[in-house]
Amino acid sequence: MLNTLKKILKKYFLTKAEFNKEAKKIQYEIQANRFLLGQLCSQQLKNKTLTRLKDAEFQVFSQFGDDGIIQYLIQQIPIDNQVFIEFGVEKYTESNTRFLLMNNNWRGLVIDGDKENIDYIKEDSIHWRYDLTAVCSFITKENINELFSKNGFTGEVGLLSIDIDGNDYWVWEKIDVVNPIVVVVEYNSVFGTLPITIPYQEDFVRTKAHFSNLYWGTSLGALYYLAEEKGYYFVGTNDAGNNAYFIRKDKIGYLSPLSMEEGFTDSKFRESRNEQGELTFLKGQERLKAIENCHVYHVSEKKVFKIKELMSN
């Protein structure tokens, strides 16, 4: 609808400058309406005790229903230091923490490796309306703690959101200058429940690693294993099957920890590609078969395997 309106305005009525001005107004109106609906949804979650995180889902700025899950969790957990960190945010128009920033007025740090994305964020009114620090850096396990420290983010923080489509496991493992209460990490459900991740590669880029676009990140099993080592309970995933939620053990309160098998959700979205970059819509085990010759690191056995070697076990 918005694209159609833009075309009509551009073709029949407005100069380019006028069109851009009107389009920006429309975008702000849409954002404002989404924000108001999100506020209503957040209010409805108050005083509710849910048996599944998925039942809290609603979407304002998150890719899927994570805005609702995060609102529910911060209502259930006492968080004094209302600070978040999110990296892998692109232009921050679609993210896990934008609604948290606007609705709850938390202070935050966002990081992305593309300078154009960070410039976009700094030119967005959200950058001056709220206490938001935007930093351009390609994240590695070697630089992550320094990035936090030099930008003034150390100690306890309310929420950490990790989504870099690559070394997510390795980066979370290395983080030690902040002590988050809630941790949200993207997982690759194509890997199933085995405790595996891509082997660490400092310059890993998902789109270059394998043409299928399916070889990236970490399994839920590997995150579950790491969470236990770092002192966190697993409390569930979103319904889309791409984000896992962990709560620091001393803050779990009335929330119920889950086993990995209880909480695992297999993703239904179909983003596989062929060597020409065209979508192939693989699903189920077809996706794992497509990357069977890729290598993964087994975090409990501390060894590298080809995926097909693990599939045959």
SS3 for 156?
Answer: strand
Confidence of residue 41 (pLDDT cuts 50, 70, 90): confident
User: Residue 281 corresponds to which tokens in the numbers above?
Assistant: 């819509």
State the pLDDT at residue 36.
Answer: 83
Report d(CA 159, CA 179) in Å as an integer.
9
Confidence of residue 126 (pLDDT cuts 50, 70, 90): very high
> From its phi and psi, is residue 105 left (phi > 0), alpha (psi between -120 and 50) or beta?
left
**One-letter amino acid of 233:** Y
CB-hemisphere CA count at 13 Å for 253? 15
Axis-axis angle for helices 16-45, 66-76 (nearest 10)? 40
pLDDT cut 90: percent of the chain above it: 81
Which residue from 170, 148, 164, 287 is spatially nearest to 222, judged by alpha carbons?
170
> With contact defined as beta carbons under 8 Å apart, do 254 and 75 qualify?
no
Express each pLDDT in 86-109 by its tens digit. Answer: 999 999 999 999 999 999 999 999
State the pLDDT at residue 218.
Answer: 98
Express each pLDDT in 143-184 by its tens digit. Answer: 999 999 999 999 999 999 999 999 999 999 999 999 999 999
State the pLDDT at residue 95.
Answer: 96
Q: What is the DSSP string of 113-137?
A: S-HHHHHHHHHSTHHHHTTEEEEE-
User: Residue 3 corresponds to which tokens in the numbers above?
Assistant: 């694209």
Report d(CA 87, CA 185) in Å as an integer.
10
Mean pLDDT of 294-303: 96
- Checking if the pLDDT of 20 tops 90, the result is no
State the pLDDT at residue 30.
Answer: 75
Tell me what the pLDDT averaged over the chain comes to: 92
Q: Which of 23-37, 165-179, 257-271 has the lowest mean pLDDT?
A: 23-37
- Checking if the pLDDT of 68 tops 90, the result is yes
Mean pLDDT of 190-214: 95
> With contact defined as beta carbons under 8 Å apart, do 215 and 224 qualify?
no
pTM of this prediction? 0.90
Report d(CA 230, CA 246) in Å as an integer.
10
- Checking if the pLDDT of 216 tops 80, the result is yes
Break the chain into its structural domains and give their ranges. 1-45, 56-311
Q: Who has greater pLDDT, 300 or 34?
A: 300
Q: How many CB atoms lie within 10 A of CB 244?
A: 28
State the pLDDT at residue 113.
Answer: 94
Mean pLDDT of 258-267: 94
Confidence of residue 22 (pLDDT cuts 50, 70, 90): low
State the pLDDT at residue 5.
Answer: 63
Report d(CA 182, CA 123) in Å as an integer.
29
CATH topology of domain 56-311: Rossmann fold (3.40.50)
- Checking if the pLDDT of 237 tops 70, the result is yes
